[in-house]
Amino acid sequence: MHVIASFHYSTYIEIALAELEQQGIDRRRLIAVPLDSRPSGRAMFDTLHRSDGGSLLDAGMALGAAVSVVTASLGMTLAWGPVYWGLIGAAGGFAVGFAIDLTLSRRRRRRNARKKGAEVVVVVDCEPTEADRVTETLWRHQALGVAVVS
């Protein structure tokens, strides 16, 4: 029977493995495999076939619409008229909103990249009578997920 668990790379893995060895599970029946992180960063813009659910256009569109309404109404009294000033306001509002969204998404991505390290998969070969004790030990040491395969 195999018990498979995944962990964030931390000292909890070492503590869990040491505790499993103290419980009588031989070191040769334990396997810890670190997974490689993604080599390249995420794509900045979505394509037709792939999307990560985030959009850089939302804030730009909303700010562009709001600023175009205000500048069009102000354009009634200005020299070029409401149409030109509405278009100028839409372009300016979109550019500012896009820049804000781009800056915030880069900060978020950088912060998440620092937080998330690589994961480690731990495989324990054990007897069916030991499976409950092993899963309990792995959960207690902050496993992300545990599965029992018979």
Q: SS3 string of the chain?
A: CEEEEEEECCHHHHHHHHHHHHCCCCHHHEEEEECCCCCCCCCCCCCCCCCCCCCCCHHHHHHHHHHHHHHHHHCCCCCCCHHHHHHHHHHHHHHHHHHHHHHHHHHHHHHHHHHCCCEEEEEEECCCCCHHHHHHHHHHCCCCEEEEEC
Provide the pLDDT for residue 94: 95
Contact 142/19 with Cβ under 8 angstroms? no
Provide the pLDDT for residue 118: 74
Structure confidence by residue, pLDDT tens digits, 93-143? 999 999 998 888 778 777 666 556 678 999 999 888 989 999 999 999 989
Residues 6+ apart with CB under 8 A from 33: 120, 121, 122, 123
Mean confidence (pLDDT) of the chain? 85
d(CA 61, CA 96): 10
62: buried, middle or exposed (CB in 10 Å: 19+, 13-18, 0-12)? middle
Give the lowest-confidence range in 32-41, 83-92, 130-139: 32-41
Provide the pLDDT for residue 50: 60
Q: What percent of the chain has pLDDT over 70?
A: 83
Structure confidence by residue, pLDDT tens digits, 45-54? 556 566 656 6
Using a cut of 0.75, tell me whether the model's pTM lies above it: no
